[in-house]
Structure 1
Amino acid sequence: MVISVALSASPVAAAPEDVQNLIKQGQFTQALDRADRDLVANPKDRKTRFLKGVALTELNRLDEAAQVFLKLTEEAPELPEPYNNLAVIYAQQKQYDKAKAALEMAIRTHPSYSIAHENLGDLYTKMARQAYDRALQLDAANPSTQAKLGLIREIISVGTKPGAPAAATPPAAAVQPARPPVVAAAPTPAAPPAPTPAAPAPAAKPVPVPPPPPAAAPAPATRPIATPAPAPAEKPAVATADAEDDARKMVQSWADAWSRKDVKDYLAFYARDFAVPGKTSRADWEKERRTRIDKPGTIKVGLSNLRIKVDGDRATAQFRQAYSAPGLNANSNKTLELVRRNGRWQIQQERVN
């Protein structure tokens, strides 16, 4: 679900830049401290209080954040953003009825507020899946319920991880995430993963390998190992960059195969030990995928904010997926766990965050 980080309709002056910037930088504790200091001088400033609520949400102090947004809805019922953020908190706490009521209020105050409409759709989807799951527990053989649950899974992409819905932010106010349920990653997080592959940890592992040299003369064997040691530290960086590029191309090719409805090519991207969601078999899962992809009509799968993190022969790809098919449009944050075998990246696990 999407959490707003700006009061676009507030009648007060522009939000304090220091607090806003600290939130954008992911420094939520510092943002909270600064907001509290500002509120001592101006305790009624709505935008500072709103930003305080955002910082509290990011710090997972949900009850305190809810009180901030609830007070704002009482003072300024014409603003949709506090209702929206209050709904996001309620959804994380699994209080879906309260979340629904808050989103409906946001839409009532501002009918063109697209974020609230999107969040309400996400909320209905999650509530529907829970209801169908419950129905299948009572009657596992009901084909109608199975079909409806399959459609819900298709909407949120097969493999949704249980828990609160993932949140995103408008591009104009993107905030780096502290926790998956609150704010989605902005383009800036792509930079931090880079140091991980370049870290000397991979280069340190070859050091225990010296046992082979003792087969030769003990004295010379020690020096050759110490001398070339720095060289391997540079190679992983190049190799990792190539691996990231290969993984990135593979993920895009997977989406392209899906879009052109090439089922054979699409399924080939999944590893033999792919973690099939639910309790179904690999054969049944592939059959279901074939059936859905082969349906008449055009499929479009678009990826954005694609980030790759490589660790040896394993990698993680995170991105925003826009899926459209006849009668269906869905957007979600997705993660693919990849494994490299025989020089080729394949999908080992697929989930929506």
Structure 2
Amino acid sequence: MILAAFILGAPSVAGAQDLQDVNRLIKQGQHAQALDKLNAYLSGKPKDPLARFLKGVVLTEQGKTNEAINLFQALTEEYPELPEPYNNLAVLYASKGQYEKAKVSLEMAIQTHPSYATAHENLGDIYAKMASAAYDKALQLDKSNKSAETKLALVRDLFPANGKPAGSRGASAKVAPSPAVAPPVAAKETSKPAPPAVVANAPAVATPLPAAPAVAAPAVVPAAPTNTAVKTAAPAASDNDAVLAVVAAWAKAWSNRDVEAYLGFYVASYHPPRETHEAWKSSRRDRILAPKQISVEVLNPKVLSIDGNRAKVAFRQDYKSDRLATVSTKTLHLEKQGGAWRISQESSGK
């Protein structure tokens, strides 16, 4: 399972330097020194969430699981909109074999941030662990149950004897790259590399509906095969512009904390995995209105494909608020409905 790191709003210059020093010590494995610095820092700023989060990471690395659990638990109560403390709480519960508690924590992380890839990945691990435990019990109750024995071996293949999940994700409870605590530029520099993508902001649009008239092109009028090919190729540029304009307007509505406009960019039936449309609307409303200010920049937008009434766009999303700052890779799937492009699916990763 993966231990997450997060980025909150930048502290003071002096505070940022102190926490950068802590990050350096953590990377060097000097956890005792890092803890000393954090305790000194927290003596003057006992409520600083980023310093407390880092302390939880250090305590985890030192094997002080119960202390780390108490710290991350407090952060989930004070900052329920952040998924990372829930994720790390789940990692610690799982290390104690408390898989049900871990599952609930990860579900909370996903509820606050439906496209949070780390939580989805860890939740898959938890389900496999729970299945393994269930098959273990089945074998204890009925040692002749060959079906359970086969399934148990299959599930445990995800977790070899060395404790590492199959594949190349690395050791259990691996600490993600240290969180940036400096100004926004540092946050961008420390984010995980994204799939090849792009670097130009799409033009802002004031309305959620694209105004480009060419999207309703009369290309469907029957014609000779050669002419049809010409007509279907012609709208590509305008469709491309219209899709990028919708993405820019979506980001602008989010930045303006205009909830109704923001929700209007999605198809009427939109909902993330394992969440109803109404629950998603409610959680998005809370996450948009909770911060006092938000800035969402679309960096490097690129239309990956347009196939009839479906389009796919990828970009780097630079999100900043008075509570949180993250840079992530985002992919949006859009559908054209009534001449307007609307988001039907989204995913993101660090």
| TM-score bracket for the superposition, by shorter chain length | 0.3 to 0.5
Whichever of the two has the greater Rg, that structure is 1
Structure with more contact order per residue of length (Cα contacts < 8 Å, sep ≥ 6): 2
